Structure 1
Amino acid sequence: TFSPKDNFYIACGSNEKISTPDGKTYESDQDAHGFLSAEDKYLVSDPNANVPSKIYSSARVFLKDATYTFTLQDSGWHWVRLHFLPIKTDVFKLESASFNVYTNEVTLLHSFSATNLTMKEYLIHVKSQRFSIRFEPQKNSAAFINAIEVSTAPDKLIGDSGQSLSPVGQFHGLSHSSLETMYRVNVGGSLITADNDTLGRTWVKDDGYIKNKNMAKDVNVQTNIIKYPNGVTPYIAPQTVYASAAEMADANTMEQSFNVSWEFPVEKSYDYLVRLHFCDIVSTALNDLYFNVYINGKTAISALDLSSITGKLATPNFQDIVVDSSLVDQDKVSVQIGPSTLDSGAKNAILNGVEVFKMNNTVSSLDGEFGPDGKAAFAGKHKKTVAAVGFAMMFGAFVGLGAMVIKWHKRPQDWQRRNSFSSWLLPLHAGDSTVFGKSNYGSNKSSIFTTGGLGRRFTFDEIKESTKNFAASGVIGVGGFGNVYIGTLDGTQVAVKRGNPHSEQGINEFMTEIQMLSKLRHKHLVSLIGYCDENSEMILVYEYMSNGPLRDHLYGKNMPPLSWKQRLEISIGAARGLHYLHTGSAQGIIHRDVKTTNILLDENFVAKMADFGLSKDGPGQQADHVSTAVKGSFGYLDPEYFRKQQLTDKSDVYSFGVVLLEVLCARPAINPALSREQVNLAEWAMNCKRKGMLEKILDPVLVGSINPESMKKFAEAAEKCLAEYGCDRPTMGDVLWNLEYALQIQEASAQGKTEDASTNLNSTAASAPVAVEPSAIIPEQTQAIDEQSGTALLAQFSNLSGR
């Protein structure tokens, strides 16, 4: 149970203390007189009033300004709840009262009138230990209040950051905001009263907000099966919220193409924090539920996979999303859930709870355009600034329009046959080999493999033809960005990744991937061949990797097992790609999503790193980390990055250590179906290594074919990668050296066994010759900057004769 440090409850106008079912005791007006500074004293009451709580049977009325001041034990998040009910009296007509309410830092109410029972709830991040609430009657009117609550809220109830929809990315600064609770809804469940909530909140049913009840089906389970993970406490929401949900009606039918929608009327001109509560109580197995979440028509979360976040079923999760005022164009916040376009998993979607909070505006107001200091949002010099900016924008628009008209009159004769309108109208192309020069994208017959930064710009017709109009049978991969199709361009097989143009997340990843791949060329990185941005499309064309992701060859797909030598060579190739990312430029690049599904294999099983949608530029020489929101994949995430939100190239090293263990053990990084000590691969494997039980974690198909010293060296490399602190982890160059050494040991061992078998071939039939696995040596290509290490040197050393 949460015990607030500050606890102020006042039954204004009451001549006695009042206790409520939720355990609160409200001080009488007389006992609380020390908190109030007022010039008048008007108390009204109606003992016979039919009210839900006795706190509404009395009120304090002010004809002049009045202030309640509280001395707090601590700053930080505090609940402020104001209770209003216009009591019928012979003296005051309170239903007509109009007044303002302020705190030290924010305007709570402006020109407010309460015609019936109203409770206003706020979350204020208090900066001073003296906290005031001031009531200001409008001219010729009065102010009144029935009850006041001021109490501490848990520090972690609201974090500092959330996901922003416009602009897309992370929103920082929630801890500097003041919030008003607009809606708190228990989706698919019943009313939760304050006495049944962990923090005295009320959760209403969703009946009044769901658009079409027939599209949803309520689901309920026992509350005792809900288990909170680390980082989520019952203070976020009680078990009752997570034990009920709405899922799609007829959720397991073959075709599900509709969304379930809820609408919440709100006021324009404000940003809103939308907190969505999720708990998978509908699935019978992990990794079987993927769905999309939309807010005001924009993709808020694409292909949400609760299993990858929580690692368990019936485990609470919440997502904070900031909706910019520019998106609130119809006086409402709408929340929609619908099935993902992924081929795998059930066609279903769920939602357990919704909270909508109004955020204060630029003058620290939650009601109107006047702040607590009396300043208006566009007063004085602000108006001049707006006028100046408006004039500058208008002038710039005229200049830009004039330039476009001139350009139009000078347009080339064949402009209609060009790849896009922008290809001749705009002077700069991101992928051109020249700037303000002649484009080399005009010919559709140009070679696929070009040396330009972004490769070739394809027309949309070319892409459609190459993929047979994006045939469903040609889908070879899916992800948050979109589908990946196999295609053929100029007789060459390619992989075509088509993003969803309406997905803000997709646009973000599309731009990141283009920025990264335009400056990366290495034989162990998947190559970008070209792109298509015609008709708002977001299409990237890559070289085709015929053997798919490494994970498919380790487990889950019943493919022929990889030999130990192949696994070593694949690990070395991936390490070379990562090493190049970290060191191939002055600043370096951090991949941020290293895992076995992002290591692809070509027809010769050459490993190449892929998927740079989450990649970030490194800190360079001026800093040792990049401060950024945590992103990555569950099971591979660097714990130090997770704790500090400080990203370094050592975060990639940690993830690569998990990859090495997957290669050795042929099992997922997280497997909730196993016993508790075996769920997390990294923890289990390192525990076995410390106990000298490496054989216990080894893929059974490798038993008898792997040299013990090679395995030991490989496991040591993985262990170093998984050090708790980044400063204790090796660089990818060091990891590469150790892996190459492990390969040398294995090759020397295999060569020795082959020679022994050949010598003894005719002596006995009992000793069968050792089968040597076919070599999967990486074919020679252009020498890369990191290829002077390891294998070649070790090969030279192995030819030296010792004493």
Structure 2
Amino acid sequence: MTGGEKHGEVRPSPSPPSPPPIFSLHCLFFLLVLSNTIVAINAQSNSGTKVSFTPADNFLIDCGGPKSTQLADGRTFRSDPQSTSFLYTTEDIKLSAGTTSSSIAPFYLTARVFSDKSTYSFSISEPGRHWIRLHFYPFSNPKYNLSTAVFSVNTDDILLLREFSVPNSITPVVKEYLITFKNERVSLAFIPKKGSFAFINAIELVSAPDGFIADTASNVQPAGEFSGLSSYALEVSYRLNVGGPTIKPEEDTMGREWKPDTGFLEFEVAAQNVSAALRTIKYPEDGSVTPLTAPALVYSTAEKMAESNTVDQNFNITWQMTASHAYSYLIRLHFCDIVSKSLNELYFNVYLNGLMGVASLDLSSLTSNLATAYYKDFVINATTIINDTISIQVGPATGSESGSPNAILNGLEVMKMSNSAGSLDGPYAVDGSYHGGYATKSTVTKVASAIGLALGVMALILLGMMFCRWRRRPVGWEKKNSFSSWLLPLHVSQSSFLSSCSKGSYRHRFGSNKSKSGYSSFFASGALGVGRIFTFAELQHATHNFDEKAVVGVGGFGKVYLGELEDGTKLAVKRGNPSSEQGINEFQTEIQMLSKLRHRHLVSLIGCCDENSEMILVYEYMSNGPLRDHLYGSTGLPPLSWKQRLEVCIGAARGLHYLHTGAAQGIIHRDVKTTNILLDENLIAKVADFGLSKAAPSLEQTHVSTAVKGSFGYLDPEYFRRQQLTEKSDVYSFGVVLFEVLCARPAINPALPREQVNLAEWAMQWHRKGQLEKIIDPHLVGTISPASLKKYVEATEKCLAEYGVDRPSMGDVLWNLEYALQLQEASMGQPNDDPSDNSARHILPETTLVPIQEHRGLTTIDEDSAPEVNAMPLIEGR
């Protein structure tokens, strides 16, 4: 028996004498510390001597195992029977895989199964943060199919897993947590779903070092200090050894596994692996970072900025990870300057989800030595997580004169923080109570509520003034401010605009995220030209009191309802969720943009509601929804013909061209995609969603420097690398849209083989082979004029040029699309262009698609065969 392991016992729960009992197992492990032995976990110190960490509590259990299991790192997992003085059971709950494998730990070859709620009870000697690691491996067994088990796991007050299951996998699944325990008795309950069962292969409950997670961290938004971390339970989502290989648990002081960052690194060509000898890694003398924080193996490798032949190396290295927008996250970044030859050479910025985490991080001033370990903790509020993604970026500091621009990262840890329900897996608490959503505990939210209450009287006064003003409206006001021909269509996708219809929709009225200071006059005065101000009662009536059956779109932070006025006019009513804080900036941008833009192919806001602290915007209902719904066939809509697709693309190009050139100052959309191109009942295309839009650079500027935002698959790689936004970024995104229209598949599809995931790259590969026809939408095969396709693909290829300077303007793209449409019409003799109508196919027998040759010139065509066309595109505006 090794030290640090403790005895316990397993007892069945009491059963009534009659009727026959429903058997359940309550595994109660009452574990006592052995005074004559300890387990020492060794780590390497600066001097090369061994330092040790002796956890006060060290419970290692091989669940279902017949005997102790010793691992390569010297740790011993004790079996259940060895830890009990007696064992009552009503069924054979000890499983064996029947085979051995050297690739996994021995304790994965056995498991304990529970048919009813069962509880492990631990007696801990020192309250504080503890690691909990739950090991699951659904091996094959003749009696139980472990992959079908559905169950929940919780401690006394933290829900760890709810209705959890482990699909068949060749690798084990480890769920890892850091939880602060305040009592000397800790319970870990396994609760099968009705009709199912629970299982576990191994359990670790080990004390974490004092101060391992500080109580404070840097808050990203709002900027400042986040305090109270000790009150949150944490789940390890990612732990990456940046620039290095896998670090196995036996190689880490704390038994942690560090995975390589290769699967999370975006644009791998922007990063370069570097490494240093382990003996050169130092830890600060003040003890702020120790081998317990992270092993020297983490600090001895890194990713730095790749060397580039271009003069401008102003780009970022980026890591992307999936996360839930329902939680806040603790981010720990590890740094160690192993790239500089002397001090004060390395200055760089750190960005989290596009927001500045640290400006001009100077490791020299923080560590006073090269190759010295350093880390920094950040909290990313749930409201800053867009598209369920966490983005970490490092890049050169602006204006740095320290030499060649560079930036590094050595290690990355991402930990989910428990929500207000005390849960790490949904809105339900341990007692089963529902907490109305996934809202995380937020100090900011609490402060906002307090300030809002304090300023409530002021808000009521201002609302009263607004009501009086509304009552004094002149006769005919409503009719005068009714719908116009360019009203905003419904955007049903979960885009930034839809998500922005949240608490920020009336930021001007509330004043800030923390108050309700009343800015009713902002809308009532028509300062932004938002049109009609609806009463809340009107919109209640139009949507049947916001009936769930009237919901036609749901975003992360609001719903869209189909409403109908008494005169039969249909509305799209977008009602924001007042409890959400995300999308505030996007919402304001949307309002400001829509109040200034008027164009047949751009959306326009028609009204809002400014009552009862509601955040409601009203648009004209667009019956044909987003372009994407007409491409993939999954919605049951008939596929668009080639002519219809060209007309839609032309409409969208006109809208974007107007944005870039028609406004007083050009506007860059920054989120061009098929869900932001909407169609009315006549399939007229309009560009929607201006929540991410930016004013274009002035004549004296070449670009706008800004954090990267947009949608993956459509994002301009040059903008991604350099954070320099231009109109050509929209052109690149539109090029992806053009391929999406032609091939009828998403811009990004992770389910496909690696070479097919990115549509733009995949389509260009086939185009270079001269075989693009092999991936064209089957509905279009045989209906496209070769000349029209040739012109269309030339424009698309040029849009996707690697550098913005090589891309055409939207005016040039529009010209080529109109040319492609006229080539199609001329070659087909203007027949019915419905794909189901074969009358178009016999007119031009040679329309069977032929390989497309590579063309570099945007306007290259076969002049001998091309009909005469009007080369001047029509730019419509108001």
TM-score scaled to structure 1, two decimals? 0.49
